[in-house]
């Protein structure tokens, strides 16, 4: 794959290794087809062999055109055609493998459909297959493979859409950070807290925190499936930028004195670097700070009310709700519920009560 193809696949949300995996699957399916054709007595007249050849040729064309969806669809078609060239032992082995795979990977209507389609592997393996049962088994395997392949295609298509959006956000984040530094160099005083010499170290500390956090999370990627691992890789590529942006936000909060993150006597450049690293490392720290600022209602917090990063401050309607809850706890201790308020019974006209009761008893909808 050329450099242009690599860049095109990267910025389209489809990394290069996705095409490598498709190419490997295409080669494996090609080798299986050649092995089955060599075993058959007259492979030239087998319709399934010609159909599989045509699908693999379409997959090769899709690879050259960087059409990932088309390539996987053609390879999956070829794999389903190969089912018609399997002998009895291979059909039983495919049944056992496919039954377990669909049970683990599928949910909802897809799982129900494959469960009804596929017979019990132990029952099928207990007796030889006749022509009718062999044909039914092949059709069940082909249809179940189509359901499984459809689930895989949809999952990866959704992940590629998310990848494109994340790549766009990464580019926008880079441009915004560059704009902040350009504006700082043009408008901020050299010795001010908003100068480039002050912002750049804080942003680098946040980027370092994001890198360390990403490395920490990558240690658990081996336990994830391929789709989740790929999405985690896309998110990881943007963690340094997210860390830098988060660090600049925390630094702005620290300088604005909207809320008290740390003791006022300890506010300094070293503390800003430490908080910048924490902002890049911990998403919860940034989110709770945002909630604290949003719940502050524009009023400066006093020195006796430092930021509590473990809980959200209450104010306005939230405070009224907490007071109401406290009164309920005092009036009705744990285990007791307030008595229900009696509801007024609507009056009915004389002579209609008996008819209404008999109608309700005879109405199946009531």
Gyration radius of the chain over CA positions: 32
Residue 123's pLDDT is: 93
The residues, any chain, with a CB within 8 Å of residue 59's CB and separated by 6 or more, are 22, 26, 70, 71, 72, 74, 75, 78
Q: Which of 1, 8, 4, 20 is nearest to 167 (CA)?
A: 8
Residue 264's pLDDT is: 65
Residue 300's pLDDT is: 46
Looking at the chain, how many residues does it have?
Answer: 366
DSSP state letters, 286-323: HHHHHHHHHTTTTPPPPTTS---TTS----THHHHHHH
Model confidence at 175, pLDDT cuts 50, 70, 90, reads very high
The residues, any chain, with a CB within 8 Å of residue 292's CB and separated by 6 or more, are 259, 307, 308, 309, 312, 313
CA–centroid distance for 4 within its chain: 29
The residues, any chain, with a CB within 8 Å of residue 170's CB and separated by 6 or more, are 237, 238, 241
**Higher local confidence (pLDDT), 327 or 96:** 96
Indicate the range of 46-50, 250-254, 298-302 predicted with least confidence: 298-302
Residues 97-133 have pLDDT tens digits of 999 999 999 999 999 999 999 999 999 999 999 999 9
Residues 17-32 have pLDDT tens digits of 678 889 999 999 999 9
Contact (CB, 8 A) for 206 and 246: yes
Residues 295-354 have pLDDT tens digits of 854 444 443 344 443 334 444 434 434 444 444 444 444 445 444 544 444 444 444 444
Residue 42's pLDDT is: 54
Residue 41's pLDDT is: 61
Residue 9's pLDDT is: 46
User: How many other CB atoms are there within 10 angstroms of residue 277's CB atom?
Assistant: 23
Indicate the range of 66-70, 190-194, 195-199 predicted with least confidence: 190-194
Residue 76's pLDDT is: 95
Residue 223's pLDDT is: 60
pLDDT at 207 > cutoff 70: yes
Indicate the Cα dihedral angle 9, 15, 21, 23, nearest 10°: 10
pTM: 0.62
Residue 193's pLDDT is: 86
What is the rounded average pLDDT for all residues in the chain? 78
pLDDT at 81 > cutoff 80: yes
User: How many other CB atoms are there within 10 angstroms of residue 125's CB atom?
Assistant: 16
Contact (CB, 8 A) for 236 and 169: no
Phi-psi region of 156 (alpha: psi -120 to 50; beta: other; left: phi over 0): alpha
Contact (CB, 8 A) for 48 and 81: yes
Separation of alpha carbons 358 and 354, rounded Å? 6
User: How many other CB atoms are there within 10 angstroms of residue 165's CB atom?
Assistant: 12
Indicate the range of 36-45, 66-75, 162-171, 213-222 predicted with least confidence: 36-45
């Amino acid at each position: 794959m050329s450099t242009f193809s690599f860049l095109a696949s990267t910025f389209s949300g489809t990394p290069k290794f996705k095409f490598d995996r498709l190419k490997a699957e295409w080669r494996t399916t090609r080798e299986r087809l050649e092995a089955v054709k060599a075993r058959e007595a007259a492979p030239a007249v087998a319709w399934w062999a010609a159909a599989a050849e045509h699908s693999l040729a379409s997959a090769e064309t899709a690879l050259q055109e960087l059409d990932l969806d088309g390539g996987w669809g053609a390879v999956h078609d070829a794999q389903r055609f190969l089912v018609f060239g399997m002998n009895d032992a291979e059909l039983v082995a495919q049944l056992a493998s496919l039954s377990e795979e669909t049970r683990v990977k599928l949910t909802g209507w897809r799982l129900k459909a494959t469960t009804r389609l596929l017979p019990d592997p132990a029952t099928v393996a207990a007796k030889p297959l006749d022509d009718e049962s062999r044909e039914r088994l092949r059709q069940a395997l082909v249809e179940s493979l189509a359901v499984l392949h459809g689930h895989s295609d949809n999952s990866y298509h959704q992940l590629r859409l998310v990848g494109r959006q994340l790549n766009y956000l990464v580019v926008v984040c880079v441009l915004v950070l560059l704009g902040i530094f350009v504006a700082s160099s043009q408008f901020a005083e050299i010795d001010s807290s908003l100068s480039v010499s002050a912002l750049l170290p804080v942003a680098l500390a946040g980027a370092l925190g994001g890198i360390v956090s990403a490395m920490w999370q990558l240690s658990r990627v081996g336990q994830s499936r391929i789709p989740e691992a790929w999405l985690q890789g896309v998110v990881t590529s943007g963690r340094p930028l997210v860390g830098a942006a988060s660090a600049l936000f925390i630094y702005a909060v620290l300088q604005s004195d909207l809320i008290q993150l740390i003791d006022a006597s300890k506010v300094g450049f070293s503390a800003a670097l430490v908080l910048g690293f924490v902002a890049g490392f911990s998403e919860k720290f940034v989110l709770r700070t945002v909630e604290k600022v949003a719940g502050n209602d524009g009023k400066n917090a006093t020195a006796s009310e430092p930021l509590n990063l473990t809980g959200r401050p209450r104010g306005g309607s939230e405070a009224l709700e907490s007071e109401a809850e406290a009164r309920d706890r005092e009036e009705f201790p744990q285990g007791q519920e307030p008595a229900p308020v009696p509801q007024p019974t609507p009056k009915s006209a004389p002579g209609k009560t008996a008819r209404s009761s008999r109608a309700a008893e005879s109405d199946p909808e009531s």
